[in-house]
Structure 1
Amino acid sequence: MEMIRFENPPCSNVDNLLDSYTSSVLNVLDTIAPVKVKMVNNRQKAPWRSEDSVRAQKRECRKAERKWRKSKLQVHCEIYKEVLCEFNQILRGEREKYFSKIIANCRNNSRVLFSTVNRLTNPPVSLPLELISTSKCNEFAIFFYDKVQGIKNAIISTTQIPTLPPARHLELTHFTPVTGKTIEEVISGLSSCTCCLDELPTRFLKSVLTSLLPQLVQFVNISFETGAFPKALKTTVIKPLLKKSSLDPKVLNNYRPISNLPFLGKVLEKVIYQQLTYFLLSNNVFDTFQSGFRPHHSTETALIKVTNDIRMNTNAGKVSVLVLLDLSAAFDTVDHGILLHRLENWVGISGTALNWFKSYLEDRMYFVEIGNCVSDKISMTCGVPQGSILGPLLFNLYMLPLGQLINSNNVSYHNYADDT
């Protein structure tokens, strides 16, 4: 694939630049791979069925079945049953080996490991046909919105407790321009999942990355320079997922929203995430007792800290009282004004860097997709995007004063954040 050139001269507006990139890519794609209507079999073949031993035994099984159906003899029926039993044993063995290999390879990657176990123990549940309609999509969209607004409105306003942000000697006023190597590493490290809003399938984009790299580098750097996040990448696609297979699929409250975001937006977020995390670690901004979405601070860290505190108290002859606090819709109810105040006064972000985060948070939209049906778009007036790369990190920064408040009352604590 040849180097793609913009239809119009490069500009300093990130939205215009993204539009130019999109139209140029689509024009080239329409030329070399025009859209054609094809009948596609969506049934995916299990990977372990492709093993030579499985395929060979399957041929023997079909051969024995044809012989029995042709002769109708009992002896051939018994032979067929024996061969079929051997086939099922081999199939189970290859399936076990397949997942054992995945689990062994993911020993140090808890996210992939838990995803694999969840896929095995909780197979996906198909939505009832009556839910696949535009009206139902709109019902889900309004339900998810009202649920968040209800929780947000129920938050009781109290007298503000004075908390002084720590003195920051360094500031993050702008983001550093990136090179093609950085973008290449970021894209190769991201999942190949594709959003319906993506003009190019992610796997295809990765395969032609060399041709697109100069434009992508310019796109990212213009976003940093102007402190603007493209409007076209602010839309989130939400798919309802039944919380448990045993729940009534007709009750909306039994579903959780699963978000998907455009791939180019994730590329931008990942580069920002890397630079912001480096700044936070260099300036010791993170809460000491914060786990989750922080390097080397996982669920194990939180469990070890809490367990150790309890044991230390027990050894000292003291009584421990464990209070567990879970915030409902924590990510969805983040106040944008408060978050920007945290970033400026607690973290030390200002200038175009702060403008970028303001642009990233404002004017976001979402719609619900079920099958081929979609809802109307709804504005997101609060919260950080679920399923985003920056969302969990921004939430941790949003909660920075909490540790100071708890610690001021001489109470041991440990915070943990997750995006589920």
Structure 2
Amino acid sequence: MRTLPVQGLQDFIHTFGLDSGPRVLLLVPHSPSSPLLQHSPIQGSVPGPCQRVKPPRTSSLAFQLPKYFTTDLLRLSSALESFLNVYMKSRDQAIDTQFHHLSISGLPTQPNTVVRNLGLLVDSDICFDAHIRSITRTAFYHLRNIAKLRKMLSLRDAEKLIHAFITTRLDYCNALLSGCPSGSLNKLQLVQNAAARVLTNTKKFDHITPVLSSLHWLPVKSRIDYKILLLTYKALNGLAPDYLNNLLTTYNPPRLLRSQGAGYLLVPRVERSTAGCRAFSYRAPQLWNVRVSGSLSIFKSRLKTHLFSLA
């Protein structure tokens, strides 16, 4: 999965009825009518409903995509000759077997369990367990090194090191972790707790909540909610990309109520309580209960104070 700065590539993808997003990242639904599984140039054992599909008049995306790069004197590298099959464990795991041993236009492909995109590890069931394991492993490695130097550093310098090597990793793409199980987020919370103990020389069995409050550090879950609400504020005030603003709908009651004009957002219905409730279109309206007016800096300050009162 890689960003491809090729002019006209998005228009080419849109001809197949697919959406490539703000970056050229292909999201193809795996169904018998999927443009990825249509046409004979995809070779290999594809059991199930895919064998009963009649070849369409136009070639599939899998066959035409390499030809597109050939016309621009480019070739799909080995890093692009793989894909991630996203499925729900409870329903679609059987479909996963349809994607093994495929050959797309002569390029061997193999479904991966985890792929990296912009430094984020994405797994098949979008639970981000691999990404969380990577963060905790790397963070504890750096934290052990900082602990060895802690006695030689001032509080201010040690805090700079922890923010540079630990906090930045906890905050990177953390909005995607919104709605994840508490067990997964607790692993990241243990990293933050250990960093606070190293910084303040707090003993292992001392209560950590007052230490985090004294450092003015929001817990991991509150930091995720902070990121979601900040993106929501920016989207509603024209400071975010349009594709985020299009996911939000203002709540307009059918009759005159006190909530009319209060700035509430409509919480959409979701089909799946596990995956659907983690979408930005659902989490943002659900968390949007802070009525703060003013500039962005005022909103950020008051929002942090509000989340501290809830932590």
TM-score by length of 2: 0.28
Identify which of structures 1 and 2 has the higher relative contact order when contacts are C-alpha pairs closer than 8 Å and 6+ apart.
1
CA radius of gyration, larger in = 1
TM-score by length of 1: 0.23
Q: Compare the two structures and name the one with the higher helix fraction.
A: 1
